Amino acid sequence: MKPPATQTLFRGLILVSAISCLCLALSRWFLWPITPSSTYLALSENGADAIFHFPVWFFWMLGLLWIGAAVGAYMFRLRARLLLAWLVAFVLISQPLRGLVVQTALEAFAGTAGTLATGGALVLAYFTPLRERFERERKIA
């Protein structure tokens, strides 16, 4: 039996979200070393004039939570949908506190694609009949 189009679109958006998160996490080792020195110096200024400095481990934890939430949402887990929504809200609220943000063009592309995909997936997960697929878990428990 062929899955409904909404489900297929949702899963595709979740995959884009997770892949963009991985690309952003790995860019420090694979992309930064091949950038021109002037770009590399700008990238090292991330966080300048920040109201609140998040430690590096915090971003790794955030990335792992994001991947975990994406995997759970892909499998239509109710808690994963909620975690993904909370992570998006946290990133949105904390963005102005992080200070200067410098990205390469590929990082900006991956971040924008991931943000759009996550937003689209959350709209589908909360405001279409797909929400019933998530809520079945609540009825079983």
User: Which pTM does this prediction carry?
Assistant: 0.87
Among 14, 6, 120, residue whose Cα is nearest residue 73: 14
Task: Quote the pLDDT of residue 47.
Answer: 75
Tens of pLDDT along 16-47? Answer: 999 999 999 898 888 888 888 877 777 776 67
Task: Name the pLDDT band for 3 (thresholds 50, 70, 90).
Answer: low
Residue 2 has pLDDT above 70, yes or no: no
In the 3-class helix/strand/coil scheme, how is the chain assigned residue by residue?
Answer: CCCCHHHHHHHHHHHHHHHHHHHHHHHHHHCHHHCCHHHHHHHCCCCCCCCCCCCHHHHHHHHHHHHHHHHHHHCCCHHHHHHHHHHHHHHHHHHHHCCCCCCCHHHHHHHHHHHHHHHHHHHHHHHCCCHHHHHHHHHHC
Q: How does the average pLDDT of the chain come out, rounded?
A: 88
Confidence of residue 116 (pLDDT cuts 50, 70, 90): very high
The residue ranges of every structural domain in the chain are 5-140
